[in-house]
Amino acid sequence: MYSARKNIGLSLQRTTAQLNVWAPKAKTVECELLKTDRKLPLTLGKYGYWTLDTDLLQDGDTYHLLIDGQALPDPASKSQPEGVHGPSAAVDLHYDWTDHEFVPPARKDLLIYELHVGTFSESHDFQGVIARLPHLLDLGINTIEIMPIAQFPGERNWGYDGVFLFAVQHSYGGAKGLQALVDACHAVGIAVILDVVYNHFGPEGNYLPKFGPYLTDKYSTPWGKAVNFDDAYSYGVRDFVLDNVRMWFEDFHIDGLRMDAVHAIKDFSATHILQEIRQLTNAIDKRTGKVHYLFVECDLNDRRYLEPLDKNGFAMSGQWLDEFHHALRVAVGEAKKGYYAEFNGIADLAKAYESAYVFNGNFSTHRKNFFGSSAEGIDGQRFVVFSQNHDQVGNRMLGERSAVLFPPAVQRLMAFAVLLSPFTPMLFMGEEWGSKTPFQYFVSHGEDTLIEAVRQGRKQEFADFHTDGDPPDPQAVSTFDASVLDWKAIETEAGQQFFQYYRALLVLRKTLLSSYGWNRANLTVEVDEDAETITLLVVDKKAKISCILNFSASANAIKINGGKYTMLFNSDDEKWGGSGKTDEFVQEEIQVAGFSGIVLAHNEL
């Protein structure tokens, strides 16, 4: 029986190098060493794999692969120092790790912070992230999620146009820079999740079809042909992806992957590629003694992605829950346009708290069909929720953040709704100080036709959301520059109030989880659509906890039954920039300010 190979591409081992190249239809494959102009022939083995063992390739040496005489970069290149069209470079992935004692947080304890390496700091690289780790520690998060870093064209890109899955973006610091970042994160107790893209390859610099049928005509995606996971020769493509997963976990000590838009992965094999990724990850977990997470972005509301392997599920660790975001945004006043149009605000947000999926078999006007499955019985921590992320900010025409769209009270309420949810919360970089820096869509392609196609595509994308004006030019350097975080803003009074607010909410969340059984299984949700309030209740043997969220612009008087309550938190407290003070005790009735949330504990059970 065929089994997946390991170490595809070039791997350096002390004084020797081993090269494995999958080119099932090639007649000849050679490695051209650019420093000597020497050409080394590879030997054809089983299943279209060509191999070479040599002591002539050393760390840093550049090379081409010659496929029937045509010079191409290595599809599994570990480095592209001259960009996606240049030669590949040999990289020794050995690293003197210091993280042997590091254990990533348990899934229920994950507090995720999404960032884009290029715009997170003024240096636009991994060192810039390392320099800001004290800030992240002070905030209280324990996990960062890095947007894709696979080599893409130029130096400005969100990362979803990557074409060399094994090569770490050279302008960010390359392989050694990423290893240094992960080691630095682990040294201070922060886990690292990496965003990876297995549903398509970028349009510029994609030389994979020159080597083999990496793409298939059987299916299409919004970005062109689908990746070949189940057509003829798909075993080589699956090997390619599986070895990429192995590399991130073993050679870079990455703690988890977030796989982009897995609904666009088309695979009718008996064993889905996601199931193989789970099987491989389980084997790595067993070998290393450490847990590695697999999160997915998926818009199918299909519980099979979370079901265990023995139920023929894909056994993913968790998934992004966009519907929570959509319902939350409409609840605070987002215009009901585009995919927001079918969300009913507070009613759907209450359903999301209770059922995770808003569409769990009911009719979707956006899809014009009955849609979704039940998430009953699935732990809340397996759903990742947010009020902002790279998509929801960057896919607005102007890339406006919540701080530009909503007043401070609403921003605080949205953070309250996310961080005190029974799900796994995620923040988007800069959110914690109310950053007003936009996060716009940017690229640095080198082909004029492609650049114009991207510009036109952005205009068409906003047809349902905007009617006036054009989006910022994705190719312009100014679009990228405008998206770089302004760290000076955190030093302002407003910035510090937001930062202290987020930090306090994170501390409260940890307390609720550790001391009061705050989870989806124990949660009761009450909604008053007329008053525009949602109450989340958890009754634990230690206390009864009530989180009351007021989505009305006006204050609401909430009846309190059953004795005296302790006020644990008030999002409208003046120390956060609100209008009032937090009462220590509450009896009979409490006024909940407009667009605010409070947390009460009843200890007399």
* Alpha carbons 390 and 399: distance in angstroms, whole number: 9
Could you identify the residue written with the tokens 């050393």?
58
**Closest Cα partner for 522 from 496, 547, 551, 554?**
547
428: which 2 tokens? 């988007």
Report the C-alpha gap between 126 and 121 in whole angstroms: 9
Q: By three-state DSSP, how is residue 123 classified?
A: coil
Q: What are phi and psi of 220, to 5 degrees?
A: -130, 160
Q: Please name which of 17, 70, 75, 63 lies closest in space to residue 36, comparing C-alpha atoms.
A: 63
Helices (H), 37-143: 117-120, 126-131, 133-139
The Cα–Cα gap between 352 and 589 comes to: 27
Cα separation of 520 and 421, whole Å?
9
Candidate list 125, 161, 195, 260, residue with the active-site label = 260
The closest alpha carbon to 482, from 406, 394, 388, belongs to 394
In whole angstroms, what separates CA 187 from the centre of its chain? Answer: 22
CB 146 within 8 A of CB 193: yes
Both tokens of 511, joined, read 């307390």
Is 24:15 a contact under the CB 8 Å cutoff? Answer: no
**What is the C-alpha to C-alpha distance for residues 110 and 282, in angstroms, rounded to an integer?**
20
Contact 479, 471 (CB under 8 A): no
**323 assigned to active site:** no
- The 3-state secondary structure of 26-53 reads CCCEEEEECCCCEEEECEECHHHEEEEE
* Owner of token pair 């191999």: 51
Residue 162 CA to residue 481 CA, distance in Å, equals 21
Helix/strand/coil for 257: strand
For the chain, the C-alpha Rg in angstroms (whole number) is 25
Q: Is the dihedral of CA 70, 72, 75, 77 positive or negative?
A: positive
- Tokens 């998934």, residue located: 319
- Which of 74, 204, 231, 297 does the annotation list as catalytic? 297
Report strand pairing: 596-602 vs 565-570. Answer: antiparallel
| Those residues with Cβ within 8 angstroms of residue 550's Cβ, 6 or more apart along the chain or in another chain | 413, 531, 532, 533, 556, 592, 593, 594, 595, 596, 597
Q: How many CA atoms lie within 13 A of 464 on its CB side?
A: 9
Distance CA 80, CA 87 (A): 7
Nearest to 112 by CA among 410, 319, 355: 319
Instruction: For 272, list phi and psi in degrees, rounded to 5.
Output: -65, 150
Structure tokens at 20: 């494995």
| 8 A C-beta contact, residue 20 and residue 50 | yes
Q: Is 122 a catalytic residue?
A: no
Three-class DSSP category at 334: coil
Active site (catalytic) residues: 260, 297
